Amino acid sequence: VACFFYVAAAVVRLARFNVEQAGHAKAVFHGLPSPSAGIALASFFPFSQTDFFRLYLSDWKWPSIMIGVMVVLGFLMISHVPYAVVPKFGFRNVRGIVNFVFLVTMTVLAITIPRLFFFLGSMSYVAYGLLKVLFLGFFEKLPEHDPLLDEDPDEAGAELRVIDYGEITPHRRFRIPGYRRRRRGDRRRPNRPDSPPDQKPKEAP
């Protein structure tokens, strides 16, 4: 039952993502991303083979614990709990530099100790969203902006330039000087600067 519920929640999660957020810039994820939930389950077995697990955690009832973890992950995937996306990094401000150092550190840990990093890191990411909802809440402390709105708070106050298309679009069509547009039903030839004025044809004798 737990496995079926997890798979059904993952299907609903992917379908909702395609409807709500696919193809749009994301400030947060609406619910736990399915790759994070999958990494948390798939990395448990390598984590259980480490010395740290055997020394400190092997006495726990892990079959029952993982069933509960699977159900919780399924609920979080179909919930509206906001989860942070990969932070933007750069070298123009302190925040961008801190994000760059954080990403480099996570990459080094993933390469050096993968069996410990992926399970503990994914579970920390899951716990981060739950703790943020439990301790901060959406109703007790309202955020400055909508946490489910797909826009970056740093770019919310960006100046929008108004484009006047009249500057690049001609108001009148280009006309040749002295050229008179022929109207419908007018069979006379247009007057040109170098042509004599129209004359009536002479009658035959």
Of 32-36, 81-85, 156-160, the range with the highest mean pLDDT is: 32-36
Residue range 91-111: mean pLDDT, rounded? 90
User: What pLDDT does residue 55 have?
Assistant: 92
194 has a pLDDT exceeding 90: no
151 has a pLDDT exceeding 90: no
User: What pLDDT does residue 142 have?
Assistant: 46
Distance between CA 69 and CA 103 in Å, rounded? 26
